């Protein structure tokens, strides 16, 4: 629960910072805001903390089930963690090793607006954290859980999917060119970077849609994974 709370606080701070940055930049390429660089330093250190916290939580869960060694940092435990959360680990590592140096030095002070938009992708995290907390409390059948599930889908789609075409549209408006021509007006690495960031978002969104389908297609709002865990508990009694 504590990790969920910390994650939600960080996500809220990131979203607010991103909104301030994006709305302060009238020129999407050249306008600057001091938060753009400073917050990325904070976000990078948070990602290191979050990665460690995720691993320790995974290790404790697996230890209770007897799936890992008692040594916290054994090769078996690390492999188990990577198999389960590979994309999330890759996401965290990329922020520290790629986004941080690009933001601080390689972009030469350009594009604070786009960085602000990317920070706002964290807006869906508090809803995701609330959903996981409710799941742990076995509140899957409550109205709050279902409403939060819809808010997760809406926030994720708006802030993690739609934000990418929005950034291209904002660039096209700034330079008075058709939106479909923007990919040909910006450097190739910008398009590749956007695609690399967007691809896992599409994958995660597809998983959320599948989970929502299970949730709302079940008569009592209990998804298959919940039924499976209940059956396991009954069989063990």
State pLDDT tens for residues 6-16: 889 999 999 99
Sorted by sequence, the CB contacts under 8 Å of residue 70 that are 6+ apart come out as: 63
Banded model confidence at residue 31, pLDDT cuts 50, 70, 90: very high
Q: Please state the pTM of the whole predicted model.
A: 0.80
At 108 the three-state DSSP class reads coil
Nearest to 123 by CA among 24, 13, 210, 35: 13
State pLDDT tens for residues 67-89: 655 666 677 778 888 888 888 88
Residue-by-residue DSSP string for 34-65: HHHHHHHHHHHHHHHHHHHHHHHHHHHHHHHH
State pLDDT tens for residues 133-147: 888 888 888 899 999
Residue 53 has pLDDT above 60, yes or no: yes
Report pLDDT for 68. 58
């Amino acid at each position: 629960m504590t990790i969920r709370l910390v994650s939600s606080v960080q996500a809220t701070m990131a979203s607010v910072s991103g909104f301030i940055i994006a709305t302060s930049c009238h020129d999407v390429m050249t306008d600057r805001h001091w938060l753009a660089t400073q917050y990325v330093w904070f976000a990078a250190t948070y990602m290191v903390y979050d990665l460690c916290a995720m691993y320790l939580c995974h290790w404790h869960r697996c230890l209770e089930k007897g799936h890992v060694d008692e040594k916290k940092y054994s090769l078996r435990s690390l492999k188990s963690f990577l198999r389960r959360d590979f994309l999330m680990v890759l996401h965290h590592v990329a922020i520290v090793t790629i986004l941080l140096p690009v933001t601080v030095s390689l972009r030469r002070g350009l594009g604070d607006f786009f960085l602000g938009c990317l920070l706002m992708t964290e807006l869906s995290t508090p809803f995701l954290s609330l959903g996981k907390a409710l799941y742990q409390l076995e509140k899957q059948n409550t109205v709050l859980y279902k409403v939060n599930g819809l808010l997760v889908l809406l926030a994720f789609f708006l802030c993690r999917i739609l934000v990418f075409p929005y950034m291209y549209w904002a660039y096209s408006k700034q330079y008075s060119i058709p939106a479909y021509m923007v990919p040909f007006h910006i450097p190739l690495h910008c398009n590749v970077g956007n695609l690399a960031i967007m691809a896992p978002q599409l994958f995660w969104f597809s998983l959320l849609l599948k989970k929502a389908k299970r949730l709302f297609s079940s008569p009592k709002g209990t998804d298959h994974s919940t039924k499976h865990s209940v059956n396991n508990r009954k069989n063990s009694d």
